[in-house]
Amino acid sequence: MIIIIIILEKRVSLAEKIRSMTRQRRMILQELQKMTTHPTADQVYDMVRKKLPRISLATVYRNLDLLAQDGLIRKLGTAGAQMRFDGNPVDHHHIRCTRCHRVDDLPAGTVMVKDKGVGERTGYRIAGLHLEYNGLCPECQTEMQKTRV
Amino acid sequence: MIIIIIILEKRVSLAEKIRSMTRQRRMILQELQKMTTHPTADQVYDMVRKKLPRISLATVYRNLDLLAQDGLIRKLGTAGAQMRFDGNPVDHHHIRCTRCHRVDDLPAGTVMVKDKGVGERTGYRIAGLHLEYNGLCPECQTEMQKTRV
DNA sequence: AAAATAATAATAATAATTATCATTATTAAT
DNA sequence: ATTAATAATGATAATTATTATTATTATTTT
Ligand SMILES: [Mn+2]
Ligand SMILES: [Mn+2]
Ligand SMILES: [Zn+2]
Ligand SMILES: [Zn+2]
């Protein structure tokens, strides 16, 4: 039996391509991990700038993206997609294609959400909720196969 | 017992302020209701333009917003808010303030999602799901009371 | 140490959305 | 019905978040 131990001190790779862990990238990750809030890119920029005053906003955006790709952080909100509108105001959920950004309705009865005391435990006055699945739509699945081989 | 039937042919008001149902507004609503897809603003624009060639894109945006305010249609996605980042990649859900756009974590165990065959029934290859509550955060609740009275 | 590769800072470009404002349409008042 | 008051529109400018570009700097490989 062969055991391989990989110590990630200088480099990070959850995908096949290895990418170097730069001072900037590490700092962005660290600062973000400290915060319990969910900052915007420019808020991250402001935090990181206190330690690395010469960092560029573009570097922050670039690295937030790469860190999310590597699964070290998460992006909240519908990335890179423009707003979409629904002619049906009745409550129902959706599924969104991560590749072509298409949005479909989830057939009624496919999901059940049970919550207990969300308002009480968060202090929010709840107005609604939205559940969104994401993945590859049928069309994009076949498209992907063509290019992959 | 008194039954009041309101026929909305010329005006719409689900809020206190009445707003006139213009040709443009009606057409945007009609076209959107026809579509089973979830079009972007410019896709709505293209559809409506076939019937009202002189309509402006700004009018489409304006009315999509007003129709959503009146609850006749829905906006999908985090309206008017910029992307937010989460230092915690472990699966968990969120609650977002509709007023100040702040995002908080939902305490673990407050919700349970049960689904059956989402992938099979939609044809999507599911990658994940995200549940987001929305409402007024504690701070904004008190802020609102100040201005209201 | 030198060459090759990758990431950065600074800045320009893009694209979606929102604001402005003169004109037109709709509603209320007379 | 006319007129005055109000609201909505079309055209376009402005804004804002994000992405692309590129010369420079840092890191990795040889
Ligand atoms: Mn829908
Ligand atoms: Mn979170
Ligand atoms: Zn797709
Ligand atoms: Zn708030």
Quick: pLDDT tens for A69-126. Answer: 999 999 998 877 889 999 999 999 999 998 889 999 999 999 999 999 999 999 999 9
A89 contacts in B (CB within 8 Å)?
Answer: 71-74
Whether residues A44 and A106 share a domain: the answer is no
Using the predicted structure, report yes or no on whether residue A13 has a pLDDT greater than 60. no
Whether residues B66 and B110 share a domain: the answer is no
Q: How far is the CA of A98 from the centre of ligand 1 (A)?
A: 17
Whether residues A133 and A113 share a domain: the answer is yes
Closest chain A residue to B72, measured at CA: A89
pTM of the entire structure? 0.85
What domain range includes position A19?
Answer: 13-89
Give the per-residue pLDDT at A3: 31
Q: Within a domain: residue B2?
A: no
Which residue spans within chain A are E strands per DSSP?
11-12, 19-20, 74-76, 84-86, 94-97, 103-105, 111-115, 125-136
pLDDT digits (tens, 9 = 90+) for A132-143: 999 999 999 998
Q: Within a domain: residue B1?
A: no
On the CB side of A38, CA atoms within 13 Å amount to: 26
Alpha-carbon radius of gyration of chain A: 20
For the domain that residue B54 is a member of, what is the CATH number? 1.10.10.10
Q: Within a domain: residue B45?
A: yes
- Name the residue among B115, B120, B99, B21 with its Cα closest to residue A93: B115
Q: Which of A71, A89, A107 is the last residue of a domain?
A: A89
Whether residues B104 and B51 share a domain: the answer is no
Q: What is the pLDDT along chain B (149 residues), one digit of tens a residue?
A: 332 233 333 344 444 467 889 999 999 999 999 999 999 999 999 999 999 999 999 999 999 999 999 999 999 988 778 999 999 999 999 999 988 899 999 999 999 999 999 999 999 999 999 999 999 999 999 988 876 65
Whether residues B42 and B76 share a domain: the answer is yes
